[in-house]
Amino acid sequence: MHSRGKHFRMDKTTESVTRQIAAMGCEVFEIGLLKPETGDNERNMLPRTWDREALLRSLGWLRHENRNGRNVYIRPKGEHNLSLVDDLSKEAVAGMKKAGFSPAIVIETSPGNYQAWLKHPQQLDRELSTAVARTLAEQFGGDRGAADWRHFGRLAGFTNRKPKYRDVITGLFPFVRIVEATGMVYPEGARFIADIKQALEEQVRQRERLRARATVHTRDVPEKSIDAFRNDPRYSGDGNRIDLAYAIYALSHGVSESEVIAAIRSRDLSKKGNQKRQDDYVDRTIKKALARTEMVGRGR
């Protein structure tokens, strides 16, 4: 009985993995096996790069590592035509479908929690792919911290090893399961991608206008560093106000966005949380500063 049950589980794992990678439609995948708490001689993440056949041949090893506490993740290798929207409710997935954003794959990662992979009508470059993923997360209530061009999603057929999901009675972890896997491009794809492209192009034009104004109007004005703002008593040492004020000043004086980001990061941002939360904070600050400088440029 025990061996038959084990064989059944392996069959279900094979079926789930086969359905997911077929719906994703990629030739090569990156697999990540994450174990948050490891011993001195263990690596936190075990990365692998496999085509479909190699992945299916490796299911036995993946199951072994999963049983030993590693979570199993997957993403396409290189640039691709997929976007992952993480941390969704069932209602959010239904809302996506109603709005014309039907996912190619829906994965239940833990009871009542879902990931959706959307398939675009074309391959996206890294900048566009990240912008699309962030917009989708914002629009449908997903995790914006998990929204970028190459974020890992869970691979179905394996267990979610997060301690909070462990059944206190049985000691078992829930399986990551496929809810649906059509592999279809979502109906709003062409229009949505065109809108995001247009927004990115406008951002580029905005930065060029800011640099042009800075060259004309502030050529002889000495540039103030972020330290000047940090030492200014008007801000009372408030890091958020200082960062935004400096960003507005620097961008309007032709300082590049990358230089402004580096200046903001020159202080300790650990109070903002993990790296994703820090990245979100910096991104929000830059967006606010760009919006403010645009308003000033239009005389508002």
The pLDDT score that the predictor gives to residue 217 is 52
The pLDDT score that the predictor gives to residue 8 is 42
What's the pLDDT tens digit per position in 229-272? Answer: 999 999 999 999 999 999 999 888 878 888 899 999 999 998 88
Is the pLDDT score of 219 beyond 80?
Answer: no
* Contact between residue 153 and residue 75 where contact means Cβ atoms under 8 Å apart: yes
CA 176 to centroid of chain Cα atoms: 19
Mean pLDDT of 52-57: 96
Report how far residue 146's alpha carbon sits from residue 153's, in angstroms, rounded to the nearest whole number: 9
CA dihedral 250, 254, 256, 262 (to 10 degrees): -20
Report how far residue 169's alpha carbon sits from residue 163's, in angstroms, rounded to the nearest whole number: 13
The pLDDT score that the predictor gives to residue 223 is 74
What's the pLDDT tens digit per position in 62-117? Answer: 999 999 999 999 999 999 999 999 999 999 999 999 999 999 999 999 999 999 99
* Burial 252-281, CB ≥16 within 10 A → b, else e: bbbbebeebbebbeeeebeebeeebebbbb
What's the pLDDT tens digit per position in 3-46? Answer: 444 444 458 999 999 999 999 999 999 999 998 776 666 788 99
The pLDDT score that the predictor gives to residue 296 is 47
pLDDT more than 70, % of the chain:
89
* Contact between residue 122 and residue 181 where contact means Cβ atoms under 8 Å apart: no
Q: What domains sit in the chain, N to C, each tagged with a CATH number?
A: 2-186 (3.30.70.1790), 192-297 (1.10.1240)
The pTM assigned to this predicted structure is 0.71
Mean pLDDT of 186-209: 90
What does R_g of the chain's alpha carbons equal in angstroms? 23
Which residue from 17, 55, 186 is spatially nearest to 118, judged by alpha carbons? 186
31 SS3 class: strand
Q: Cβ of 22: how many Cβ atoms within 10 Å?
A: 13
Q: pLDDT grade, residue 224 (50/70/90)?
A: confident
Helix ranges (DSSP H) in the chain:
2-24, 52-57, 59-67, 90-98, 126-140, 189-217, 226-230, 239-252, 257-264, 275-297
When the pLDDT of each residue in the chain is averaged and rounded to a whole number, the result is: 89
Report how far residue 128's alpha carbon sits from residue 10's, in angstroms, rounded to the nearest whole number: 38
Is the pLDDT score of 48 beyond 90?
Answer: yes
* Contact between residue 19 and residue 176 where contact means Cβ atoms under 8 Å apart: no
